[in-house]
Structure 1
Amino acid sequence: MSTNESVTMKAWVHSRSGLPSEVLSLTTLPVPCLTSPTQVRVRISHCALNPGGSITMQLLPFIFRTSPSIPEMDFSGTIVELGPGVPAARDLTPGQHVFGSIPVGQHARSGSGSLAKYVVVDRTAVVKKPDGATLEEVAGLGIAGATALELIKAAKPKRGDSVLVNGASGGIGHMALQMCRAEVGETGRVIAVCSGENAGWVKQLGADEVIDYKEHAPVHPHLAKTFDQSRFNAVIDAVGIQDIYHHCPGFLADGKPYVTVGPRPPSYTVLGMLATVGLMAKNALLPRILGGVPRDYRQVTGVSSQQNLQELGKMVEEGKLKVHVGAKVKMEDAKQVRLRFQLWYED
């Protein structure tokens, strides 16, 4: 550790499972040190808050994790130290701006999290910040971006296709929307479902039309009425609304896929997650059984890797992907955050 670096840092931690508002506390911890020659230490400038962080906080027992534990995994910041085993490279040097994601195993095993001032990760967990992007923009690329990539790979949209993106203004959805736009091209059609208050910037990201799910609640009858004669080649559900899946034959063409992040849990409790697992099994199996939804159900899980971090960074640098930052809060206010895709920062 360099002599001008602090030996302590601020971090949000918890030592029991529960709601973030109930179990998190802001404290001071030692700055983490390198324990492997291939690790890097990053001074975090921005942390993306994801639903998965809240789910993990509430459901993963501490018999399977380190106490205290720092929440969240996605971040951006500046490299301050490299292990001796990190190859000399232009994109990984002290002072280089990077973004990345803490591996799930490390997060559970060591209590490492990104809702802190510093983090130590393997060099494969970070990549150089793309030129032309800010640190706040790339902080949310890790898990959300990886999930968006998986949705597109599973949906396999092609030039000229018509695709519905549900949850198009969310952290995952707004990236999937742009990737989908690039795949279907000018001759294709991308219809977005989201809150009408976000319609302006969602259209700027490539949606041909925005359907306000609040105005047309429930939205599936409106979709069936509007698109019965011009059904979609794929539905990408970045939220996990079960009713839309149940009624998708009314607007999704026969033989075409319904691709989703999985059903949205009714609650982030053990019972709520068990119910969700039951729905996952039902959705995957019943299309093959009489009485199920007669469409191909594909559920994906996004896991950040060096390869998809690099792919996402290249998209941003080439102007093919823009990250929408919903809001920013200071680190001290992170406990009060309720929105799904926000960032904290420090002056």
Structure 2
Amino acid sequence: MTTLPNTMHAVAATGSVPLHDERALTDVELPLPELRPRDVLVEVAAVSVNPVDLKTRGRRAADAPPVVLGFDAAGTVVAVGPEVTLFAPGDEVYHAGVINRQGTNAEYHAVDERLVGRKPANLSIADAAAMPLTTITAWESLFDRFRLTSESEGTLLAVAAAGGVGSILTQLATALTGVTVIGTASRPETQEWVRRMGAPHVVDHHGDLAAAVREITPEGVDRVFTPSTGGRLPVYADLLRPFGSIVAIDEDPDLDMRLLKAKSIAWLWESMFTRGVFETPDMIRQHELLDEASALFEAGRLRSTLTREISGIDAEGLREAHAIVASGGSIGKVVLTR
């Protein structure tokens, strides 16, 4: 039986200083997290950085206490709560945590087993750590919000398709549905990446997006997935066919929903934290979909979107990773490994 330490290394974040300030992300020593009845304790071997890490840090008040961020991890289960049935010590797992509990930027992470999946056997620990949050977000967007099935057809405009979510959403839509994906990307290298993810069509979202999409599908599109809505809602309303739908994962304070009424366009939010934060009756679906995704990775139908690996889960490495994500020009996912 493994003897666990009483404390662990972690990286704490504060939102009161700029990212280049060393106080923005600081190495700290913390007690091991206490396990709830259905928690597993994961010894974290790799984490990745998502835009939500930057948003969470940036929104914190100047006098707020430091917090451990991180919403992606891969590692090994080392202890379990008394009601755990899905995992045992020694299991290799990958998971995304929840926004109202301590994050994954630490040596150990406590997480409800219903949010954890079996690590794909064919992926390295770094490749696996790149995938949980974006896979859950993409999966829920496609199959819970859009309600797509293997028989679904039509068109899906995937905005910023070279990003973390867009990269796996394109793969999932291509592998598991009959929908035609039109991805958006602005640079030659990001456009090539989107094609590698399986999109048969790629357009530049910095140009005349509506005109570019109508060159491919003159009648418009059936669905829009967007992580970047600001200023684009009129374009989406123009491009969408009557009774179309939009799934958004960002927040635009200037949304004017009246633009969607004439065509009876549905607006749908997606937050992968909803099930975990509210402990919904179907919370275990995140465990199930991560396991389903593992089987797809192992079958070669999905690929990891890892593009940058940084050695060391510490404040210096996380500052570098946050800066890469904040640049807005990154492709795929940035991962840190212990």
TM range, smaller chain: 0.7 to 0.9
Partner of 1:193: 184
- Give yes or no for the alignment of 1:160 onto 2:141: no
- 1:342 Cα deviation after fit: 1.1
Partner of 2:196: 204
- Give me the CA root mean square deviation: 2.8
- Give yes or no for the alignment of 1:119 onto 2:106: no
Q: Which amino acid aligns with 2:45?
A: S
- Give yes or no for the alignment of 1:102 onto 2:97: yes
Q: Which amino acid aligns with 1:302?
A: M
Q: Distance in 2 between matches of 1:18 and 1:28?
A: 17
Partner of 1:170: 163
- Give yes or no for the alignment of 1:328 onto 2:327: no
Aligned length: 311
More moved, 47-56 vs 9-18: 9-18
Partner of 2:211: 222
Given that 2:38 and 2:83 are in contact with CA atoms closer than 8 Å, whether structure 1 keeps it comes out as: yes
Q: Distance in 2 between matches of 1:256 and 1:33?
A: 45
Query: Which structure would you say has the larger RCO, counting Cα contacts within 8 Å and 6 or more residues apart?
Result: 2
More moved, 244-253 vs 162-171: 244-253
Q: Distance in 2 between matches of 1:297 and 1:121?
A: 31
Of 256, 260, 272, the residue aligned with 1:287 is 260
Of 73, 77, 80, the residue aligned with 1:79 is 77
Given that 2:203 and 2:209 are in contact with CA atoms closer than 8 Å, whether structure 1 keeps it comes out as: no
Q: Give deviations 1:43-100, integer Å, cap 9, x for gaps.
A: 101112111111111213488x7x331112221111112234333x5xx222211112
Structure 2 unaligned regions, length at least 5? 277-282, 326-332
Q: For residues 147 and 122 of structure 1, do their structure 2 counterparts lie closer, same or farther at Cα, with a shift above 3 Å needed?
A: closer
- 1:209 Cα deviation after fit: 1.7
- 1:33 Cα deviation after fit: 4.3
Q: For residues 125 and 260 of structure 1, do their structure 2 counterparts lie closer, same or farther at Cα, with a shift above 3 Å needed?
A: closer
Q: Distance in 2 between matches of 1:228 and 1:40?
A: 48
Partner of 2:272: 302
- 1:225 Cα deviation after fit: 4.7
Structure 1 unaligned regions, length at least 5? 107-111, 264-275
Q: Secondary structure at the match of 1:29?
A: strand
Q: Distance in 1 between matches of 2:236 and 2:36?
A: 50
For normalisation by structure 1, the TM-score amounts to 0.78
Given that 1:8 and 1:31 are in contact with CA atoms closer than 8 Å, whether structure 2 keeps it comes out as: yes
Q: Distance in 2 between matches of 1:309 and 1:204?
A: 27
Q: Distance in 1 between matches of 2:272 and 2:19?
A: 23
Q: For residues 16 and 176 of structure 1, do their structure 2 counterparts lie closer, same or farther at Cα, with a shift above 3 Å needed?
A: closer
